Structures are given as structure tokens and as C-alpha cells.
Amino acid sequence: MTDSPVADRVPRLPELTYFFPAHNEEANLRGLVEEALETLPGLAERFEIVIVDDGSRDDTPRIADELAGAHAQVRAVHHPTNLGYGAALRSGFAAARFANIAFTDGDRQFRVVDLGRLIERLGAGDVDAVVGYRIRRADPLARTVYARLYRLANRIFFGLTVRDVDCACKLFSRASLEGVNVESGGAFLSAELLIKLRARGRRLAEVGVPHYPRTAGSPTGAKPSVVLRAVRDFWLLRLRLWAAAGPALRRGQPILGAP
């Protein structure tokens, strides 16, 4: 992993928290943590890995604790029940201790080494956060169609021009997240966060990253309950912004926890 040309040309960050949500990812968990432990020393001088177990019912919680016990750089955060994707992201951000924070999903559809593409862009010094976009999306047609419609809706109703809002490969400076509150516990969280960052004048850049087919476990993002929750959160924020933008942008809980 660390012999990638991307990693070779990227100046290492002083500090990096890398986290990922994991819901019933027992088949992916060990491989992803091993990949991160191998790759991250080439991307950051100091790093930590945070596993966010979102109420898994398989062996994910036990494996997460085992990995945390075996490696000083690894920590595990557990939700007693499945709270949703946005809640898992919020727990990852809240647990982060370091000056830069990155995440992918726990399904291994992104490679940890490709965080180097985002780090390289952040290192240019003129942006506060870097949002990945999937160069070629390796998802079923239904999910791809939903994503295109969702992107269009965010562009029309929020002016959010990010080309791949829900790409689970993002990097933030901790400073860019200071003072930002979020509400969504579902799939709308990524869009809400970007909308609120932009409203605060944070500078966003986009970088293409490879996307790989899922080889183990089952996706949940296209479940009707997940989609309906995202639609509800979308319209709640839009209506509140129309009614009173200032209070709407301040609603919710801080995205960051104590360092």
C-alpha cells in the first residue's frame, strides 16, 4: 500500500485522525485496519484510527475491541443500537483528537492510500477541507441514479455545487470544523456539514479518487428508511433556512469533541 506513487509524493501531515463507520462489517474490519496501519505512517507523522461501530449485530464489536487492544493507534467507539450513518460520522468527528480529520466508509470501497490525494491538495494551503469525488462509481444503477438526483436537489435548493456530496472520502482541518453544529443523524449529514461549512466561508476543494466494488458485507444506503430519513432532514434544513437562516445554521450539536 505504501509504495503508491500518490503516497510517495505527499508531504506527511503532522497529525491525522482517520475514522470509519462500521455497521455489520466483520468481513472487512481487520483488512481495513491492517491497510490503515500499513499506509498511514507514510501520510502522517502521528495518526490514530477510530472504528465507529454503529450498533452492529455481527462480530464487528468484538473484532473492533480486539484490534484496539492490539494496537495503540486504534480506538473503538460503540453505539449500543444502530443510530444511522450520520450519527456514526458524528461520533467519529467527536472522538477525533488530532489537527486533521479524514474518513472513509468501512466497506473498503476506498483505499486508505488515496487519502494522499486529499492530503496533497490540502497541503497547497489555500483550502480548509478536501472532498473526494468518485472517478468512476462502482455501485448498482439504482444507487447511482439516486445519487445524481440528490446532487441535483442539493444544487437547486442549497446552491451546493460539490459534484459528489456523499463520497465517503473527505479530509478536514480541525480548525475548519470549529464552531460548526450539525443535526442530522442520517445520510444527509455529509450535505448538512458541507452546507454549513460553506455558509461560514470555509474553502472547499474537490479531488477525484478511485472507487472499488464492495466484495464483502451488504450495503444499506439504498434502504427506503435511509432515503426517507435523508429526505426529511433535507427539507427540515431547507425550510428552517428560509424561515431564519442564522438560527438554522446554529442548530444542532458541535461536530467536534474536545481534542
- How is residue 157 written as a grid cell? 435548493
CA gap 48, 46 in Å, rounded: 7
Which H/E stretch holds residue 11? none
What is the rounded average pLDDT of the residues 112-117?
A: 97
For residue 148, the model assigns a pLDDT of 85
pTM for the model stands at 0.92
Dist. CA 246–CA 259, nearest whole Å: 27
Average pLDDT over residues 100-121: 96
Distances (CA, A) of 92 to 72, 78, 105, 109, 115: 17, 10, 11, 18, 17
**pLDDT mean across residues, the chain:** 92
Looking at the DSSP bridge assignments, the partners of residue 208 are 133
Asked whether 52 and 22 are in contact (CB, 8 A), the reply is yes
Q: Which residues of 86-107 are buried (b: 16+ CB within 10 A; e: fewer)?
A: bbbbbbbbbbbebbbbbbbbbb
Q: Where are the alpha helices (DSSP H) in the chain?
A: 5-9, 26-39, 60-70, 85-95, 115-122, 141-158, 174-177, 189-199, 224-243, 245-250
pLDDT at residue 259 is higher than 80: no
pLDDT recorded at residue 2: 45
Average pLDDT over residues 30-37: 98
- Mean pLDDT, residues 173-192: 96
**Are the CB atoms for 58 and 26 separated by under 8 Å?**
yes
Helix (H) or strand (E) holding 182: strand 181-182
Return d(Cα 114, Cα 231) in angstroms, integer.
Answer: 30
Confidence check: pLDDT of 1 > 50: no
- Cβ burial 33-44 (10 Å sphere, 16+ → b, else e): bebbbebbebbb
